[in-house]
A and B are shown apart, each in its own frame.
Chain A
Amino acid sequence: MKMTEPTDVTVVGTTAPQPPPAPVTRSAAGSRLRIARLRDVALIPAIVLIGAIGTYVSPVFLTKRNLIEVLQQQSEISLVVLAEAMILILGRLDLSLESTVGLAPAIAAWLVLPKSPGHGQGIEIAGGWAVPIALGVGVIIGIVNGLLIVRFQLNGFIVTLGMLITLRGLQSGISKGQTFFGLPKSMLYLGTTIWWGLPVSVWVSLFLFAIGIVALGYTRHGRSLYAIGGNIAAARAAGIRVERVIWVVLTIGSTLAALAGILLAGRLGSVAQSSGNGWIFTVFAGAVIGGISMNGGKGTIFGAFTGILLLFIVQNVLTLGGVHAEWINFLNGAIILGALVISRISSGQAQTI
């Protein structure tokens, strides 16, 4: 629907009566905007600061190899953060994404690989089908989630928790707990190829985030996510097809998780039973640190990206600084809690969920 011209906004019809007189009084316009934008880039200084500390701690930090490694390590999980960020903005959540990361490439490998070696099913579909199959699995999982949450109106937390367990169980069932290896070239390609000096997975991640930023910031469908998350009744009253949007976003989310699984499998050259296991906590942490509200309707995709990037840079600096791996989880948790307290203070709103 095209907007009418501004003069026709209040009055569409016959005679053109004059709108009420308008002595314009604008209040501090620019500064508001600047603050709103600032929230978006709030983590950039933190990332720079951690980078500076990293440079001081270890000469390795600023090397090209190390930075590329950080980017590649976070490229797969960042796709899940992108998915979860959209779902959280919508006012929902999806815990099952991490199981999709494992299951989607596992099913592809199972159908493509021979019985031995590789632990495949034995059908041995052509290797070129592996990526489309994995993505298709993601689509199906999203549709099932939508069916349960939107159509049957079940609680999203429990549904996706159930799916998390079911999907992980399905994976261990078909793989008999084994790791799929000897993956076809098409699956390895995305995880191993270098384009213009950067791994393909990094390009994929950056590209999809760019699309996400544009879609949620600058398209009508994207903005409807914020409307639904902010006030679902108002969104419905504005003619937004709430159920359809939720369904589509859940499906896009699962598909992104499947893609993350393909990238991970490609990089490691195999699909392990544990792939993606436990990611969901880091995913939520990254999104929330990046300014996505657990209550829906707030936050940006760019913010989510800086959130997960910050977490991985901190981890990298800690590792380079010689902190024992056993302490990393403790520090991760402390960072998450600290970030929550800061966002609570800065937003001034209680976080209830």
Chain B
Amino acid sequence: MASSQRHEAAGPAPANGSRPAVEAVDITKRYGPTTALNNVSLTVADGDAHALVGRNGAGKSTLVSIITGLQEADAGDVLFRGLPAPSIANRDAWRRLVACVYQKSTIIRSLSVAENLFLNRQHTAGPVISWRAMRKQAQEMVDEWDIAVDVQRNADELTVEQREMVEIARALSFGARFIVLDEPTAQLDGRGVTRLFDRLRAVQATGVSFLYISHHIEEIFQICQTVTVFRDARHIMTSRVADISTTDLVNAMTGDTEILNATEHRTVKRAGAPVLEVDALSQAGRFRDVSFDVGPGEVVAITGSGSSGRIALAETIVGLRKATSGTLKVNGVTPRAGSVASALSAGIGFVPRDRHQEGLVEGLSVAENLTMTVTRHLGRAGFIDPRQRDARAKRAIHDLSIVASGPEQLAGSLSGGNQQKVVMGRALANDPKLLVLMHPTAGVDVRSKATLIEVIDKVRDAGTAVLIVSDELEDLRPADRVLVMLHGEVVTELARGWQDSDVVAATEGIGREDD
């Protein structure tokens, strides 16, 4: 495997023959039964901008945490400029070697920009912090970086892009000449991305090396010289960006999945008015001008990257969020905006994004969870008849083949797959006309996955409209049509017979000229 390639001539800042900025050699990391990294190697040449790409679960984040010293590998070595990495406990040493801007912001919003820049190393005169000196230094620092902010302002007044730059400036101020950027553009809009890239190029020109993690392949072609692809915890390839096409890159990321594409796409779409009609729906800052409809018996999937707005759109349809403008009709009626109760009575059933947060009450029984949305059908005058409830629950347990000791078992004690089936059971409890599924198979074992997909086929046969919202290719398989969202807009609609590579290409924003 191409683990120790050198790219002496790479990049606008030629490395003066020095050792690579970082080498990760034969790294393996396991979490319990899952292997997050399987004997992978990665070398970032000095002064190089090196991209690391791969779909979810490829092992990118694990590698980041290992080469930034947050976790220790089970096997393998990390070297900085040829020297072994310091011990995990020595945070200061790590920080002088490698800077990292994590996906999750580490800016403290209630503190000033100056204080964020010098957190826990404030400029002191004797035992007391010299605020004036610190502000002056901080202002010089942001001015050097051309971040147009007043350092006395609170961090929560900054724009996303400014906060990102403050974070990069801080990370590099510890003296590291190598920085890891984990999805730095996830929250930026198009112009913000362009400005960030200008800055990054300037930083690279000063001799700093990058490891750049991104979902957006186009970005890699813009600012990286080398690219490495991970898939399923393995190193797949490393290449000069100039020597590779987007198609090759997409193929490397998706691997052999095209073969699986042969699954039959059966459409049982029936004649009749659409069940769901979405017209010019927008929500400020999340998604814009989305229009589509779903007919009875039709399965439509919406996909896109994490920042694409797909989840916000789905949550708006089921009443968890309010749209800013546009209309939404279910069976011809408009449910009250932002009201889940109204959406349910309009005939929507849904599986929320995260079963731990919104899906299950883990301390309640399977039966109570299954019937939570339909308690008024379980007895008279506000009372719940436990026998009716358990009878209903038993039916659902059977239909969805939930492995539980009985209706009274606590939902929290089920396995992940069976928990998800309970959530699905709850979504189906009110015989919905429209079923909205967000990440329906997240964290679910293979067999449960199959069951859940079967359920989707069953309800569509019965004439229910299904909307699947997910970034997992496998979740999209039952779909007749796939809508791909990018930065809050539906950019592509793929008709029946779509290929995985089409979806991946559209998700990564390839083939869009006007950005």
Contacts and interface: CB of A to CB of B under 8 A. Distances in A.
Contacts of B111: 226-227, 230, 297
A224 interface: yes
Contact of A230 (B110, B127, B172): B110
A13 B152 contact: no
Contacts of A1: 92, 121
Contacts of B131: 218
Contacts of A24: 143, 148
Contacts of B172: 10
Nearest to B92: A239
Contact of B115 (A10, A223, A239): A223
A310 to B, nearest CB: 23
A290 B109 CA distance: 20
Interface string A29-70: 100110010000000000000000000000000000000000
A40 B127 CA distance: 23
A234 B108 CA distance: 7
B257 interface: no
A234 B107 contact: yes
Contacts of A346: none
A3 B177 contact: no
B148 A26 contact: yes
B128 A218 contact: yes
A331 interface: no
Contact of A231 (B109, B123, B152, B177): B109
B149 A27 contact: yes
Interface in B89-104: 91-92, 95-96, 102, 104
Q: B92, B120, B146, B203 — which one has the most chain A CB atoms within 10 A of its CB? A: B120
B207 A32 contact: no
Interface string B173-192: 10101000000000000000
A165 interface: no
B244 interface: no
Nearest to B137: A6
B140 A6 contact: yes
Given A19-B144, A25-B148, A233-B106, A219 B128 contact: yes
B119 interface: yes
A153 interface: no
B129 interface: yes
Nearest to A15: B207
Given A3-B123, A6-B141, A218-B129, A20 B91 contact: no
A224 B119 CA distance: 8
B110 to A, nearest CB: 4
A25 B150 CA distance: 9
A319 B105 CA distance: 51
A223 B131 CA distance: 12
Nearest to B173: A9
A341 interface: no
A217 B121 CA distance: 14
A2 to B, nearest CB: 8
Contacts of A224: 120
A19 B153 CA distance: 23
Q: Which residue, B111, B115, B148, has most C-beta atoms of chain A within 10 A?
A: B111
B428 interface: no
Interface in A208-256: 214, 217-220, 223-224, 226-227, 229-231, 233-235, 237-240
Contacts of B105: 234
A13 B208 CA distance: 11
Contacts of A325: none
Contacts of A229: 110
Nearest to B199: A20
A297 B110 contact: yes
B251 to A, nearest CB: 37
B153 A32 contact: yes
A11 interface: yes
Nearest to B207: A17
B108 A230 contact: yes
Contacts of A293: 110
B137 A238 contact: no
B175 A13 contact: yes
Contacts of B146: 20-23
A27 B202 CA distance: 24
A12 interface: yes
Contacts of B154: 36
Contact of B205 (A17, A26, A36, A219): A17
A3 B144 contact: no
A28 interface: yes
Contacts of B38: none
Nearest to A19: B144
B124 interface: yes
Nearest to B177: A13
A239 B154 CA distance: 21
Nearest to A21: B146
Contacts of A237: 102, 106
Contacts of B199: 20
A36 B154 CA distance: 9
A30 to B, nearest CB: 9
A233 B104 contact: yes
Nearest to B120: A238
B144 A20 contact: yes
A223 B130 CA distance: 12
A238 B119 contact: yes
A26 B150 contact: yes
A3 B118 contact: yes
A352 interface: no
B111 to A, nearest CB: 6
B66 to A, nearest CB: 16
Interface of A: 1, 3-4, 6, 8-13, 15, 17-29, 32-33, 36, 214, 217-220, 223-224, 226-227, 229-231, 233-235, 237-240, 293, 297-298
Given A27-B148, A239-B91, 15 more contacts: A10-B206, A11-B207, A13-B207, A19-B145, A20-B203, A22-B143, A26-B148, A27-B150, A29-B150, A214-B128, A219-B129, A223-B115, A226-B108, A227-B111, A234-B105
20 contacts: A9-B137, A10-B169, A10-B172, A19-B206, A20-B145, A21-B146, A23-B146, A26-B148, A26-B150, A32-B152, A36-B152, A217-B129, A218-B131, A223-B122, A226-B115, A227-B111, A233-B104, A234-B106, A235-B108, A239-B91
**Among all A-B residue pairs, the 10 with the closest Cβ atoms:** A12-B175, A17-B206, A230-B108, A20-B202, A234-B106, A297-B110, A238-B119, A230-B110, A25-B148, A19-B144
